[in-house]
Structure 1
Amino acid sequence: MLDVQTRGENISVTDALRDYVDKKVTKIGRYLEPNVSAIAHANLRVYPNKTAKAEVTIPLPYLTLRAEETSDDLYKSIDTMSDRLERQIRKYKTKVNRKSREKGYKGLDFRPDEEATPTQPETRFDVVRTKSLQLKPMDNEEAILQMDLLGHDFFIYQDAETDEVNVVYRRNDGRYGLLQAGSND
């Protein structure tokens, strides 16, 4: 069962808009077994320049689906975002089913697919280059400066205070994000 929680930024979410988002996002639920329940977090945003952004995050066991779309029409953004989510789960489902046939792997509980024809060609993830690196202890500001100097979108470093491996990265909005390694206690 897939529940949808919708919230708006710079927009009030009407019942009609909430129903439209629910209809589009709950389509994903047909790919999951009935015993799998999840909450989809939908966020709708309207910017001062009249562009609209729709984004959805669906945390599932061992997988998080996330899609966002920005356009000049909120309903168009919702449609495109929904299509992206569906492509993501189909792609993942195809890989899980292939892995389970090959190695007996059990991933998410997906419904059996009667139409087992993937819509896109299967993607291979071949490693074409390997790099070794020495992690230098530093703080996140120095790591961001190093990343910018190198012209990269991310930078891996050892946090000087915690000795943990962290990653700083450049977000789509131009700001920075920080991934902190930690235990799953």
Structure 2
Amino acid sequence: MLKINVRGENIEVTEAIRDYVIKKLDRMNKYFDDNTESTAHVNLKVYPNSKTKVEVTIPLPYLVLRAEEMNDDMYAGIDLVIDKLERQVRKYKTKINRKSRERGIKDFQVMVDEVEDEEQDRDNELKVVRTKHVSLKPMDVEEAILQMNMLEHDFFIFEDSETNGISIVYKRNDGKFALIETGD
């Protein structure tokens, strides 16, 4: 059974919001055995621009389900996050069930309906439709961000002139930039 922990940042979590979250997350119980004990951590945020952010994390043995959504409407954001979580479970259920059987874990029920359709969808999702080759030019992080912005991409791969390693800069959902460095 799924326990639900709802907390808010810059928002008071009213009974109506809490009840709505609990009602929506109860849909997730169909994916778990009755003896499964897990806690869904729900974090609701409101930003100064009136945008809301809904984050749900469900830690399980050997797996963490996580989804987040920004929306103008808190209730719509909650609906979208639950839909994302359900898609995650359906997408990875075959893989999860296989690993669970190998390790003797029985957290997920095997749902047999639509397995063929989902496997076909998964095969289509994993197909590489284009390959790009890039030559990496040594540059610093600031130059890489400028290049990324000029190309209007969300990420950029480059050779870091300071570390001589391959690095990646990317634009985060909050509009800031992040750096991934490779190393030994």
- Structure 1 length-normalised TM: 0.69
Match of 1:54 in 2: 54
Residue 111 of structure 1: how far off its partner (Å): 1.5
Task: Tell me, yes or no, if structure 1 residue 93 matches structure 2 residue 93.
Answer: yes
CA contact (8 A) 1:11 1:46 kept: yes
- Where structure 1 has 5 or more consecutive residues not aligned to the other structure, the ranges are none
Q: Which residue of 2 aligns with 1:128?
A: 129
AA aligned opposite 1:111: Q
Whether contact under 8 Å (1:56, 1:68) holds in the other structure is: no
Mapped to 2, the partners of 1:182 and 1:21 lie a distance apart of 42
Secondary structure, counterpart of 1:6 in structure 2: strand
Aligned to 2:153: 152
Give distance in 2, aligned partners of 1:6 and 1:157. 41
Q: Distance in 1 between matches of 2:3 and 2:182?
A: 30
CA distance in 2, matches of 1:156, 1:21: 39
CA-CA distance at 1:128 after TM superposition: 2.0
Assess if the C-alpha contact under 8 Å between 1:69 and 1:77 holds in 2. Answer: yes
Deviates more, 1:78-87 or 1:62-71: 62-71
Cα drift, residue 149 of structure 1:
2.1
Cα distance, 1:111–1:44 mapped onto 2, change above 3 Å? same
Superposition map of 1:19-58 within 5 A: 19-25=19-25, 27-32=27-32, 39-58=39-58
- Paired residues of 1:67 and 1:85 also in contact (CA < 8 A): no
The percent of aligned pairs where both chains have the same amino acid is 49
1:65 paired with 2:66, answer yes
* Structure 2 residue 108 is matched with structure 1 residue 110: yes
Give the number of equivalent residue pairs: 176
CA RMSD of aligned residues (A): 3.5
CA distance in 2, matches of 1:168, 1:36: 39
- Could you tell me how far 1:163 is from its partner in structure 2? 4.3
1:79: which partner in 2?
79
